[in-house]
Amino acid sequence: MINLKYQRLEQRLGYSFNDQRQLQLALTHRSHGASNNERLEFLGDSILNFLIGEALFLRLDEAREGQMSRLRSQLVRGDTLAELAREFELGECLVLGEGELKSGGHRRDSILADAVEAIIGAIYLESGLDTCRERVLAWYGDRLDAISLDTSAKDPKSRLQEYLQAQRQPLPEYRVVEVGGEGHAQVFTIECHVAIAKQSTQAQASSRREAEKQAAAAMLKLLKL
């Protein structure tokens, strides 16, 4: 039986599974039971690292090993994968245990990132490496196009602070808007405000520090930096 929610997700992914049960498995967190996406996540993580490494190798002729390793780390880290997951609106499709449902697990970066890796693993098993490569490169298109050897390794908070200091502007202010979830699995909503921006930015993550980084990244994007 076709699940319309999964069908809409497949449209956003640009890939339709022959058996939607494989997509459901990729979206099933370990909190739901023994049948979950951990093995697919393991496989997808390996494939993603290879495909992004290959893409950087082919794009950056002058790059040294250390430079490519740094850039790959930026592209495959959890917060980048969580961004992709949110672009796919993947959270609404996750299959979670009752505890994770109550604590906002569908918004948690680590769970979202793991699900993206699991989907990559599932696509590989069903359609092979070439299809996997085509999808991953499509998902990462804008990010790969923006990469260069000059891409900063500094986190968004540091970049935003240094930019404002160079402009002789007040430092950014980070405010906790909401703390949801239970004590062991909290979700922080953080707002970032800077004097030179007409609006604030917000982000959610499972730690205050990570939420601040994501809010800073959104502010950098808003300021077109």
The predicted-structure confidence for 54-93, as pLDDT tens digits, reads as follows: 999 999 988 888 888 888 988 998 888 998 999 999 998 9
**pLDDT of the residue at 103:** 83
Q: Are residues 120 and 161 in the same domain?
A: no
With 80 as the cut, is the pLDDT of residue 4 above it? Answer: yes
In the structure, what pLDDT confidence band is assigned to residue 2 with cuts at 50, 70 and 90?
A: low
**pLDDT of the residue at 151:** 60
Q: Are residues 122 and 182 in the same domain?
A: no
Q: Are residues 25 and 130 in the same domain?
A: yes
In the structure, what pLDDT confidence band is assigned to residue 40 with cuts at 50, 70 and 90?
A: very high
Q: Are residues 139 and 165 in the same domain?
A: no
As a whole number, mean pLDDT of residues 177-193 equals 83
Nearest to 203 by CA among 193, 195, 194, 213: 213
Mind giving me the DSSP string for 116-154?
HHHHHHHHHHHH-HHHHHHHHHHHTHHHHHH--TT---S
Q: 133 is written with which tokens?
A: 């490569």
Strand order in the sheet with 187-193: 173-180, 187-193, 201-205
Is 63 strand, coil or helix? Answer: coil
Half-sphere exposure for 77 (CA within 13 Å, toward CB): 11
The predicted-structure confidence for 114-133, as pLDDT tens digits, reads as follows: 999 999 999 999 999 999 99
With 70 as the cut, is the pLDDT of residue 1 above it? Answer: no
Domain boundary among 124, 146, 168: 146
In the structure, what pLDDT confidence band is assigned to residue 177 with cuts at 50, 70 and 90?
A: very high
Query: Cβ atoms within 10 A of the Cβ of 65, count?
Result: 8
Domains held by the chain: number: 2
Sign, CA dihedral 87-89-93-94, equals positive
Mean of all residue pLDDT scores within the chain: 89
Q: Are residues 100 and 10 in the same domain?
A: yes
Q: In this structure, what CATH number is given to the domain that contains residue 97?
A: 1.10.1520.10
As a whole number, mean pLDDT of residues 197-205 equals 91
Domain that holds residue 177: 156-222
- Residue labelled with tokens 């990559």: 120
Q: In this structure, what CATH number is given to the domain that contains residue 214?
A: 3.30.160.20
**pLDDT of the residue at 81:** 93
Contact 203, 211 (CB under 8 A): yes
Domain boundary among 112, 146, 180: 146
Q: Are residues 160 and 138 in the same domain?
A: no
Q: Are residues 194 and 218 in the same domain?
A: yes
In the structure, what pLDDT confidence band is assigned to residue 209 with cuts at 50, 70 and 90?
A: confident
Q: Are residues 8 and 55 in the same domain?
A: yes
Mind giving me the DSSP string for 160-185?
HHHHHHHTT-PPPEEEEEEEES-TTS
In a domain, 151, yes or no: no
Q: Which residues contact 49 (CB under 8 A, 6 or more apart)?
A: 72, 76
Q: Are residues 139 and 36 in the same domain?
A: yes
Q: Are residues 217 and 180 in the same domain?
A: yes
With 70 as the cut, is the pLDDT of residue 202 above it? Answer: yes
In the structure, what pLDDT confidence band is assigned to residue 153 with cuts at 50, 70 and 90?
A: low
With 70 as the cut, is the pLDDT of residue 39 above it? Answer: yes
Looking at the whole model, is its pTM more than 0.95?
A: no
Q: Catalytic residue numbers? A: 45, 117
With 60 as the cut, is the pLDDT of residue 96 above it? Answer: yes
Q: Are residues 9 and 61 in the same domain?
A: yes
Q: Is 117 among the annotated ligand-binding positions?
A: yes
Q: Are residues 138 and 160 in the same domain?
A: no
